[in-house]
Amino acid sequence: MTEEDKELGQRPDLILNGVGSAAGGAYDKVLIDGVGKVEGSLNARLFKANGQIRVKGGLFTEGMEVNGIMSLGGPLRINTMKLDGILHIDGSVIGENCVLNGLMTAKGDCELEEFRGVGGFTIEGLLSAGHVDIRLEGAGQVHEIGVESLKVRQGDQSLWNRLLGGIIPKLKPMLTARVIEGDDLDLEYTNADVVRGNDVIIGEGCSVGLVEYRTGLTVHPGARIGKEVKTGD
Amino acid sequence: MEDDLISKKELLDLTGISYGQLYRWKRKQLIPEEWFIRKSTFTGQETFFPSMLIQARIRNILNMKDDLSLDELASRLSNTEGYSEIRLTKEAIIERNIVTDIAMSAYGPEVQSNEGLYSFEQLLHLYAADTLLARGEMSLDEGRLLLRTLEKHAGALTGKPCELYFVRKMGVALFLLAPSPAELYFDEGVRLVAKVTLGDLVEQLKGRLS
């Protein structure tokens, strides 16, 4: 145990098992198993939850691990996050590292250094990240993307996935964005109005209105591009 | 001031930075959120920046980037440390085009400290007066009032975001310093001649000094 841990250890733990609710506040560890409800904002060193969790305020934590369904009424500030399941955020996300396995929706902006995983996401604001590496199993919808590097792949295309994707649009593994800007862009199955970058790869199944590139552009024969422009020098 | 905007694309071409750098700096809060101005154009929505501010800021970042980490930079940019040691002579100020010689000859002798040297704070006050003069909104005499106001009260607001209001009623000039964000309401006869954010001035001044 480091010196810092000891100091923070003076804060109490919040443990909810079964069905329970709490008011919120500052804790060292928050452990929720079952159906948990928190009425206010939470500030914790570690946040671990399994089951169905509802937090009405924001969540500020260093390490976050969620298995199950969680909804958050305010902003999310994290250092690292690991999500298995569904997370709904009524605010913005600011953090370092996010590993996604499931669905995430955020009402505001999403600013992360690293964002990778499998699943789908809806971000109503700007997704700004250092590195994004996503394998889409559901729909990815973002208003605007600004990144250093972005890699989008489609998940396994099994029969069931294709069938369900056809019936429920939310499950169709496509990335949709108005504007995608970044240094290295490697796209597949993406719908976008504008893509701007240094090195751009437009892969299979893409449909892009305008591509602006600085150094290189590779286009898959199965991709549709409205217009391509080389910018700079 | 408001009309002086630069589009994201022009900015990147001009400064030679990449999208990734721009967004990373934004995440590190080296570039304030408020500077990202969204406007609709015929190609859809585009992002614009206040031209002067963003260019000065990017020059600052590029200059300091090699010696400092981004986190250190973020704290450096938000304060005036590192500039507090600056002392410049009148000649150096005019030569480096920091303050015009009109403002310098009008106000310089009043502001200067011993041995004819100017500190960063004094420079900032002169720069504020010079900016308002250059816009043709303030007379030379009113500038003296401004300098006295700044000298007396700006110290109390150091380190806080702060705005300078210049209002006039029936030809009488008034200066107000208020921590921002503040909402001020005036009576009908008052005309708000100019509103300047001191943080912006510090920014521009730093840009000229480096």
Which has more confidence, A59 or B5? A59
Query: Does the distance separating the beta carbons of B43 and A182 come in below 8 Å?
Result: no
Query: Does the distance separating the beta carbons of A194 and B44 come in below 8 Å?
Result: yes
* CA proximity to A70, closest of A46, A57, A51, A90: A51
Averaged over B28-32, what is the pLDDT?
82
- C-alpha B158 chain-centroid distance: 14
Query: Which pLDDT score, from 0 to 100, does residue A3 have?
Result: 45
Which of A96, A128, A233 to mutate: most B Cβ within 10 Å?
A128
Q: Can you list the pairs that B72-75 forms with residues at least 24 positions away whose Cβ atoms lie under 8 Å?
A: B73/B28, B73/B30, B74/B28, B74/B29, B74/B30
Query: Does the distance separating the beta carbons of A146 and B9 come in below 8 Å?
Result: no
pTM for this prediction = 0.69
Query: Which pLDDT score, from 0 to 100, does residue B5 have?
Result: 85
Which of B9, B23, B37, B42 to mutate: most A Cβ within 10 Å?
B23
Name every chain A residue with its beta carbon within 8 A of the beta carbon of B9: 196, 231
| pLDDT-above-70 percentage for chain B | 88
Taking the Cβ of residue A197 and every Cβ of chain B, the question of whether any pair is shorter than 8 Å is answered with yes
Query: Which pLDDT score, from 0 to 100, does residue B1 have?
Result: 42
Chain A: closest CA distance from residue B146 (Å)? 41
Which has more confidence, A13 or B151? A13
User: Closest partner residue to B19 among A113, A183, A193, by Cβ?
Assistant: A183
Cα separation of A147 and A143, whole Å?
A: 13
Query: Which pLDDT score, from 0 to 100, does residue B80 have?
Result: 56
Chain A: closest CA distance from residue B97 (Å)? 31
Token pair belonging to B210: 């480096």
- Tens-digit pLDDT profile for residues B79-100: 555 566 677 777 777 777 778 8
Query: Which pLDDT score, from 0 to 100, does residue B159 have?
Result: 66
Gyration radius of chain A's alpha carbons: 20
Query: Does the distance separating the beta carbons of B19 and A197 come in below 8 Å?
Result: yes
Chain A: closest CA distance from residue B14 (Å)? 10
Taking the Cβ of residue A143 and every Cβ of chain B, the question of whether any pair is shorter than 8 Å is answered with no
Which has more confidence, A82 or B128? A82
Query: Does the distance separating the beta carbons of A193 and B23 come in below 8 Å?
Result: no
SS3 string, B66-83, reads CCCCHHHHHHHHHCCCCC
Name every chain A residue with its beta carbon within 8 A of the beta carbon of B44: 178-179, 193-194
Which of A93, A113, A144, A148 to mutate: most B Cβ within 10 Å?
A148
Cα separation of B175 and B122, whole Å?
A: 18
Q: How many CB atoms lie within 10 A of CB B60?
A: 19
Phi then psi for residue B157, to 5 deg, are -105, 10
Query: Does the distance separating the beta carbons of A193 and B44 come in below 8 Å?
Result: yes
| B188, pLDDT greater than 80 | yes
Query: Does the distance separating the beta carbons of B23 and A146 come in below 8 Å?
Result: yes
Query: Which pLDDT score, from 0 to 100, does residue A32 have?
Result: 94
Name every chain A residue with its beta carbon within 8 A of the beta carbon of B20: 130, 147-149, 182-184
**CA-nearest residue of chain A to B14?**
A232
Which has more confidence, A113 or B77? A113
Query: Does the distance separating the beta carbons of A210 and B27 come in below 8 Å?
Result: no
Averaged over B196-205, what is the pLDDT?
78
Query: Which pLDDT score, from 0 to 100, does residue B38 have?
Result: 83
Phi then psi for residue B52, to 5 deg, are -60, -50
Which has more confidence, B109 or B26? B26
Name every chain B residue with its beta carbon within 8 A of the beta carbon of A111: 27
pLDDT band per the 50, 70, 90 thresholds, residue B114: low
* CA proximity to B195, closest of B113, B128, B100, B103: B128
**Residue A23 burial (C-beta neighbours within 10 Å; 0-12, 13-18, 19+):** exposed
Cα separation of B52 and B64, whole Å?
A: 19
Cα separation of B158 and B153, whole Å?
A: 9
Q: What is the pLDDT along chain A (233 residues), one digit of tens a residue?
A: 444 455 555 789 999 999 999 998 899 999 999 999 999 999 999 999 999 999 999 999 999 999 999 999 999 999 999 999 999 999 999 999 999 999 999 999 999 999 999 999 999 999 999 999 999 988 899 999 999 999 999 877 666 666 676 777 767 788 999 999 999 999 999 999 999 999 999 998 899 999 999 898 999 998 999 999 988 76
**Strongest mean pLDDT among A56-65, B130-139, B170-179:** A56-65
Taking the Cβ of residue A114 and every Cβ of chain B, the question of whether any pair is shorter than 8 Å is answered with no
Query: Which pLDDT score, from 0 to 100, does residue B112 have?
Result: 67
Query: Which pLDDT score, from 0 to 100, does residue A225 have?
Result: 92
Q: How many CB atoms lie within 10 A of CB B153?
A: 13
Name every chain A residue with its beta carbon within 8 A of the beta carbon of B24: 130, 148
